[in-house]
């Protein structure tokens, strides 16, 4: 991505990307898919290069002072981006929620001057699509199941992902009943919580196995891990599915 900085700057519209720990360390392809989609829509992508972890694992495990330091640093970087007329998008639904909502409400870090310029990616993309910025899409003739992450469901943002997926020609989207996958961030990774985590997610796993789908879609990285560990399906991010559909002929 750093090698593309100059090329990305040539686009008339710009966004900053809070890529987060997951893309940085686990799934850099998701970041590449985002660039593919954004470029096809006429946006250049700049990294919030020195950002800290959003802090959600720290919050979940009680390390509030460290999380607050991260929040303060990230909010300052986001403010610089906004001042340069680059709104901030995140592909992690957990990161987006933390940056917008948990900084002020949980950590007491004032971000009201920038919160309105922070978006989960599918909300940003659907708004852009409704403004006529969606490129031509190739059909994806597949049956897929969509799992709504709990925090996306509770924040009312799942509808943006669902509507975006329904814009892809040929894609048969089955929206699953909203059930927690059971992983709950770092909770299910702990030995003492594993069996409880699997029991909580068992209803979701059964739905997925019964759906006879080609693959699953979810916005949350930990939901992805839980689904792939406990069902036969690969779980893709909606941005990666959209990148599959972007016509190669698009400029």
Domain ranges of the chain: 2-130, 143-245
In the block, residue with structure tokens 């990666």: 240
Same fold flag, 2-130 and 143-245? yes
Give me the pLDDT at residue 31, please: 96
What was the pLDDT predicted at 163? 96
Encode 171-183: b = buried (16+ Cβ within 10 Å), e = exposed.
bebebbeebbbbb
**Cα separation of 60 and 164, whole Å?**
30
Q: Per DSSP, what are the bridge partners of residue 144?
A: 173, 215
pLDDT of amino acid 151: 82
Q: What are the residue ranges of helices labelled H in 184-237?
A: 194-210, 221-230
Strand order from edge to edge, sheet including 13-18: 43-47, 13-18, 88-90, 118-120
- The per-residue pLDDT for 2 is 64
Per-residue CA distances from 35 to 20, 135, 164, 196, 217 (Å): 15, 14, 17, 38, 19
CATH of domain 143-245: 3.40.50
CA–CA separation, 179 and 198 (whole Å): 12
Which pLDDT belongs to residue 50?
85
Cβ neighbours of residue 57 under 8 Å, at least 6 residues apart?
185, 186
Residue 251 pLDDT: 53
Percent of the chain at pLDDT > 90 equals: 85
Q: Which of 144, 169, 149 is nearest to 160 (CA)?
A: 149
Instruction: Identify the pLDDT of residue 1.
Output: 59
Q: In the chain, which residues have pLDDT < 70?
A: 1-3, 248-251
Domain 2-130 has CATH 3.30.70: no
For residue 231, what are the contacts with CB-CB under 8 A and spacing of at least 6?
205, 208, 209, 216
108 contacts: CB under 8 Å, gap ≥ 6: 68
Q: pLDDT (tens digit, 9 = 90+) per residue, 199-213?
A: 999 999 999 999 999
Contact yes or no for 54/75 (Cβ under 8 A): no
Q: Which residues have CB under 8 Å from 148's CB, separation 6+? A: 158, 161, 175, 176, 178, 218, 219
């Amino acid at each position: 991505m750093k090698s593309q900085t100059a090329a990305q700057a040539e686009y008339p519209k710009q966004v900053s990307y809070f890529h987060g720990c997951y893309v940085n360390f686990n799934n850099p392809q998701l970041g590449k898919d985002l660039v593919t989609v954004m470029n096809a829509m006429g946006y250049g992508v700049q990294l919030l290069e020195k950002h800290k972890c959003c802090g959600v694992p720290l919050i979940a495990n009680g390390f509030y002072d460290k999380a607050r330091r991260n929040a303060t640093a990230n909010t300052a970087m986001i403010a610089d981006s906004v001042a340069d007329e680059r709104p901030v998008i995140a592909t992690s639904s957990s990161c987006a929620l933390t940056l917008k909502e948990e900084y002020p409400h949980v950590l007491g870090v004032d971000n009201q001057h920038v919160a309105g310029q922070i978006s989960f990616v599918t909300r940003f993309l659907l708004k852009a699509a409704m403004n006529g910025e969606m490129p031509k899409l190739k059909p994806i003739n597949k049956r897929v199941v969509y799992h709504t992450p709990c925090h996306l469901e509770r924040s009312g943002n799942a509808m943006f992902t669902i509507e975006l997926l329904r814009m892809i020609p040929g894609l048969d989207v089955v929206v699953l009943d909203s059930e927690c996958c059971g992983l709950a961030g770092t909770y299910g990774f702990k030995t003492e919580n594993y069996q409880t985590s699997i029991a909580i997610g068992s209803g979701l796993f059964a739905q997925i196995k019964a759906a006879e789908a080609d693959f699953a879609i979810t916005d949350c990285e930990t939901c992805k891990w839980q689904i792939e560990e406990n069902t036969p399906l690969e779980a893709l991010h909606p941005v990666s599915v959209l990148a599959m559909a972007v016509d190669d002929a698009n400029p």
